[in-house]
Structure 1
Amino acid sequence: MQGKKAEVGTKNVKKVNLLDHNSLKHMLDESASEIFTSRGYVEDMRMSNVRLFIGTVIIVIALFAQFYKKKFPGNRDFLVGCIVLYIVFNVILQLISYAKEKNAVMFTYPPAGSVISTGLVVSAKLPRFSDIYTLNIESADPKSISAGKPVEFTKSVTQWFTEDGVLVEGLFWKDAEALIDDYLAEPKKKK
């Protein structure tokens, strides 16, 4: 750990509280996103836009329920309808998060000029009370003929942070780029 301190420059230092699990994961996820965008992958924001739209619909429903012109006994049916719609859209939002997003850090489009016709799903896990971080790459469309085999690596976060909580980006980038290279080097699936 002491040797890592010398490698850390003073420019763009990313420091985090090592006791805060969420901060650690967020810092590593942000760095992973930077790595993929630097490799030519453009982030696919469609899923985020869908979630934002559904969230906006939920807020509008709540505002209509709150500021409807009639007082309570007269607006009872309207309020029941708003409550039902509010619940339905919240369930849809949770299903999207649970079924589609899971642990996704980012969704990407395929790189420009690439023979790969599908984007990637980059996901990460850092279980609570654990120092083991797992970064996973898989195709956004696993049934595609150009989809590669999913790859992942698992390492302790202590490999990338100094004792002061500074991320040694070079080490993390090296590991993540090796994972990208592993994904791209995998033989393609046959239909």
Structure 2
Amino acid sequence: MQEKKAETGTKNAKKVNLLDHNSLKHMLDESVSEIVTSRGYVEDVRMSNVRLFLGTVIIVIALFAQFYKKKFPGNRDFLIGCILISYTKEKNAILFTYPPAGSVTSTGLVVSSKLPRFSDLYTLNIVSADPKSISAGKPVEFTKSVTQWFTKDGVLVEGLFWKDVEALIDDYAAEPKKKK
């Protein structure tokens, strides 16, 4: 019986190649999305839909440009515009949410992360989707080494990671203390 529990525990374990920077970040980002949505936040997919639409338009333009007599520099303004929209709105965002159901806040979250190449420091930020809203919370972030959340075999210790991310969500949701 003990062996079966150990087997099922390893089947559900999230394992990653510790030398692959992109897979490390992807694993952590996916786990952050799970944690945030488990706390009652519903993902806002409008930005993803806009990005898919712009990508489709770019592909159509690229196909048209391939067979059109005009060369690349002629359509570069449109391509630059699409890149700027993606860069200014998304930045490093991994998740946009709506406010939780029954919440008094009228704004969702923008969760973003950074894991610079050749670094072990993972930074997670939570900000309001509408920072000018009166119900917007104060932006919060933490930076920690990924070595704290992975075993030497590359298995994510989910309990530790969930604890850190949930503490950050709680910090964001906490009411600011008023000074006397």
TM-score by length of 1: 0.83
The structural deviation recorded for 1:37 is 0.8
Give the distance between the partners of 1:63 and 1:107, measured in 2 at CA: 31
Counterpart of 1:135, as a letter, is L
Give the fraction of aligned pairs with identical amino acids, expressed as a percent.
Answer: 83
C-alpha change, 1:188 and 1:59, in structure 2 (3 Å) is farther
2:42 corresponds to: 42
Distance 1:96 1:161 in 2: 35
The residue type equivalent to 1:54 in the other structure is L
- Please tell me whether residue 119 in structure 1 is matched to residue 114 in structure 2: no
Residue number in structure 2 paired with 1:187: 176
Letter in 2 for 1:84: G
1:146 is paired with a residue of what secondary structure?
coil
Preserved contact between residue 125 and residue 135 of structure 1 (Cα < 8 Å): yes
Q: How much does 1:137 deviate?
A: 0.4
For residues 50 and 149 of structure 2, what CA distance do their matches in structure 1 show? 34
CA–CA separation in structure 1 for the residues paired with 2:74 and 2:43:
34
| Structure 1 residue 124 displacement after superposition | 0.6
Give aligned pairs, total: 172
Write the distance in 1 (CA, Å) between the matches of 2:65 and 2:110: 38
Match of 2:117 in 1: 128
| Structure possessing the higher relative contact order (Cα contacts under 8 Å, 6 or more residues apart) | 1
Unaligned runs of 5+ in 2: 1-5
The equivalences for 1:96-107 within 5 A come to 96-107=85-96
Once the two structures are superposed, residues 132-167 of structure 1 have per-residue CA deviations (whole angstroms, 9 ceiling, x without a partner) of 111110101111000000011111100000000000
Q: Which consecutive segments of 4 or more residues in structure 1 shift more than 4 A? A: none
**What is the match of residue 80 of structure 2?**
91
1:15-57: CA deviation from partner (whole Å, max 9, x where unpaired): 1110111111110000000001111111111111111111111
Q: Which structure 1 segments of 5+ residues have no match?
A: 1-5, 69-75
User: 1:21 — aligned with what?
Assistant: 21
Secondary structure at 2:117 match in 1: coil
Q: CA deviation at 1:103?
A: 1.0
Larger radius of gyration: 1
Per mean C-alpha deviation after superposition, the further-off stretch among 37-46 and 179-188 is 179-188
Q: How does 1:70-89 map to 2 (within 5 A)?
A: 76=69, 79=70, 84-85=74-75, 87-89=76-78
SS of the residue 1:134 aligns to: strand
